Structure 1
Amino acid sequence: MASNASVEVSSLLVPSVVEMAKEPSTSIPSRYLRSDIEKAAVPDGDKALQIPVIDMQKLVSGGPNNSEIEKLDFACKEWGFFQLVNHGVDSILLENLKAEIAKFFKLPMEEKKKWWQTPGKAEGFGQAFVVSEDQKLDWGDLFYMLAYPLRLRNPSLIPSLPSPLSETMERYTSDLNSLSKAMQEKIAEALHMKIEEMKELVGEGRQTIRVNCYPPCDMSDQVMGITPHSDATLITVLLQLNDVDGLEIRKDGKWVRVHPQPDAFIVNVGDMLEIISNGRYRSIEHRGTVHPEKERLSFATFFGLRYDGELGPAPSLVSEQSPAKFMKVKVQEFYKGLFSRGLQGKAYIDTFKIDQD
């Protein structure tokens, strides 16, 4: 995702789903009801999918033959998703964040209007990627904003949030920014890239946040919390804010539910990293489902390349034996194209593939 300071977006304004959910289910507009939702597979033993687990402390403290680097490479190559434990983000901070976000979404509608999206802007409460009056809509509200670089941040957002949420968000986004930089270095190591090459591609980077609230719906099998998609990012770090699971990934052609460990981050490969890695790592389709009785809350932090840079396969990963699989594109154009269309699986990254035949 990109900053409104730099990108014109075409998202249309839509009503609050949190408010709509307070009404009887018979009043759900047809734009939210879907007849084409694929059912999730039930894994053996009726257990949620256990994606690879990466220990951040082992990742950063290991020597030249660090087995955790090999695990990271496997997770990014074969799964596109992993759980990150021992990540160093304070557990008390996470608990405070969870409690304060829950209160934030429960504010009266009149209060939330202070931060509601305005035409042509993605930041604030609302929905994203709404580009036509007749497309199907997701059953959920989001709060979206750019957090880094600070010089591009909307100065009226975090400072105006209720206290202590504003202070908690400042600390959390700062900690996640540091964590992302450490992750990028280890990803470069796993790819056998020079760390300096990754740093040059990322530059000052971009961090945006999307906090999601999916209200309960007793027609949950006919609505979708977030449409199947891959993230147009370098990496995404997801924190589940309550004990309601809902993230599902497409694994071996089937949708399966992910059940994270408490306070673990779920990290996934984004389209940008698939391109930089020249297809060694793959962004994976995922979606958010809705619970029939319980509200689900999640906090996604997206990390991408600097806005004035260029996106393409890392030069060190391209050779005669391994030709470029993706064309180069200016990051600015990549973001503009992203916001001009609705979410649809991996359709966007597919437009940058080079025909190998």
Structure 2
Amino acid sequence: MENFPVINLEKLNGEERKATMEKIDDACQNWGFFELVNHGISHEFMDRVERLTKEHYRKCMEQRFNEVVATKALEGVKAEVKDMDWETTFFLRHLPHSNISEIPDLTQEYRKVMKEFAGKLEKLAEELLDLLCENLGLEKGYLKKAFYGSRGPTFGTKVANYPPCPNPELVKGLRAHTDAGGIILLFQDDTVCGLQLLKDGHWIDVPPMRHSIVVNLGDQLEVITNGKYKSVEHRVIAQTNGTRMSIASFYNPGSDAVIYPAPTLVKNEAKEKNQVYPKFVFEDYMNLYSAFKFQAKEPRFDAFKDVNANAGFLPTAKA
């Protein structure tokens, strides 16, 4: 846990820039995760987001979860339940069009704050993508352009709460998976832990740190970097005490964006056999991912390799 990469973004502006960039590169190559401090979003504002999120859970979600899930899901169960997660969630879409005004039960203050938070996170995500470009030797803006499609990137937030679980050995808060999309920014509870990543065959806790933003890489960045950076399996362990708050924002490609390895990152690019990862349309990948989210990512990549090789044309997004 003491080795978990923590990046102080303020150090990019001084003499420690080179060392900080190297630390980001190492985190992307060897962890798939890192934690940001001094990221430019004020502590006061983050405290407000946390307060409103926890208030909304208590007023609008806690009782419903207890009635529908907590009292019934594990009744009489002896073995681990592998087809459900011990969580309660709602989703906000920010780009290409916001649905915040349509989500029921949110106060006007909460809507306003989450919209502002999304704007700050969008800016931070794009700054991070350019830092990755710099480390990868790609021109500035390459990753944002790769995500753009015809209407710009998709960007949304999963607001989740993981209530106390009486039998955490029987169910995961969230089952192990990699994230399908681009770059993910997480504001997590700093008092109730539970998030773990898989590293070198071992599950490692992602340390809760107050006012930090946890960053992890999705499958699309693995493809674009031709495997130099990899998405990493992670999960949430159910806890017996306390409700864990999780606000995960996903900066993803547009639905019709064509994703493929950056040519400069493919060795001997004229030889197709050296292009490890396939080309595909992001929406097609998401359609496959939605059916196999909690399974290994490699068969998803292989499925598109087969399409590319056998059909002789690039798959197109479904209407």
Smaller-chain TM-score bracket? 0.7 to 0.9
Match of 2:4 in 1: 51
Match of 1:97 in 2: 49
Match of 1:142 in 2: 89
Task: Supply the distance in 2 between the matched residues of 1:223 and 1:111 (Cα, whole angstroms).
Answer: 20
Q: Name the SS of the counterpart of 1:261 in structure 2.
A: coil
RMSD in angstroms over aligned alpha carbons?
A: 2.6
Aligned CA distance change for structure 1 residues 224 and 192 (closer, same or farther; 3 Å): same
Are 1:50 and 1:259, in contact at CA under 8 Å, matched by a contact in 2? no
Are 2:133 and 2:141, in contact at CA under 8 Å, matched by a contact in 1? no
Aligned CA distance change for structure 1 residues 110 and 75 (closer, same or farther; 3 Å): closer
Please tell me whether residue 316 in structure 1 is matched to residue 268 in structure 2. Answer: no
Match of 2:295 in 1: 344
Task: Supply the distance in 1 between the matched residues of 2:36 and 2:8 (Cα, whole angstroms).
Answer: 6
Q: Name the SS of the counterpart of 2:284 in structure 1.
A: helix
Match of 1:9 in 2: none
Q: Name the SS of the counterpart of 1:221 in structure 2.
A: coil
User: 1:306-342, CA deviations, whole angstroms, 9 ceiling, x for partnerless residues?
Assistant: 2221011012212317921111001121122222334
Match of 1:254 in 2: 202
Aligned CA distance change for structure 1 residues 249 and 155 (closer, same or farther; 3 Å): closer
Taking every aligned residue pair, what percent have the same amino acid on both sides?
31
Task: Supply the distance in 2 between the matched residues of 1:197 and 1:69 (Cα, whole angstroms).
Answer: 18
Give 1:199 deviation, angstroms.
Answer: 3.0
Give 1:76 deviation, angstroms.
Answer: 0.2
Match of 1:193 in 2: 138
User: 1:221-248, CA deviations, whole angstroms, 9 ceiling, x for partnerless residues?
Assistant: 2110001001112111111134101001
Equivalent residues, number: 285
Task: Supply the distance in 1 between the matched residues of 2:299 and 2:14 (Cα, whole angstroms).
Answer: 37
TM score, norm. by length of structure 1: 0.73
User: 1:239-282, CA deviations, whole angstroms, 9 ceiling, x for partnerless residues?
Assistant: 11341010011111011212132111111111110101000001
Counting only pairs closer than 5 Å after superposition, residues 1-357 of structure 1 correspond to structure 2 as: 48=1, 50-59=3-12, 61=13, 66-108=18-60, 136-149=83-96, 152-154=97-99, 156-157=101-102, 161-203=106-148, 204-320=152-268, 323-347=274-298, 349-351=300-302
Q: Which has the higher contact order (CA 8 A, sep 6+)?
A: 1
Task: Supply the distance in 1 between the matched residues of 2:283 and 2:52 (Cα, whole angstroms).
Answer: 34
Task: Supply the distance in 2 between the matched residues of 1:267 and 1:303 (Cα, whole angstroms).
Answer: 11
Task: Supply the distance in 2 between the matched residues of 1:111 and 1:226 (Cα, whole angstroms).
Answer: 20
Aligned CA distance change for structure 1 residues 146 and 189 (closer, same or farther; 3 Å): same
Structure 2: 5+ residue stretches without partners? 66-80, 307-319
What amino acid sits opposite 2:8 in the alignment?
D
Task: Supply the distance in 1 between the matched residues of 2:257 and 2:172 (Cα, whole angstroms).
Answer: 34
Are 2:191 and 2:208, in contact at CA under 8 Å, matched by a contact in 1? no
Give 1:196 deviation, angstroms.
Answer: 3.6
Are 2:226 and 2:261, in contact at CA under 8 Å, matched by a contact in 1? yes
What amino acid sits opposite 1:74 in the alignment?
D
Give 1:145 deviation, angstroms.
Answer: 2.4
User: 1:95-130, CA deviations, whole angstroms, 9 ceiling, x for partnerless residues?
Assistant: 0111111111112469989xxxxxxxxxxxxxxxxx
Aligned CA distance change for structure 1 residues 353 and 281 (closer, same or farther; 3 Å): farther
Task: Supply the distance in 1 between the matched residues of 2:2 and 2:85 (Cα, whole angstroms).
Answer: 24
Q: Name the SS of the counterpart of 1:164 in structure 2.
A: helix
Give 1:87 deviation, angstroms.
Answer: 0.2
Give 1:344 deviation, angstroms.
Answer: 2.2
Bigger proportion of residues as helix: 2
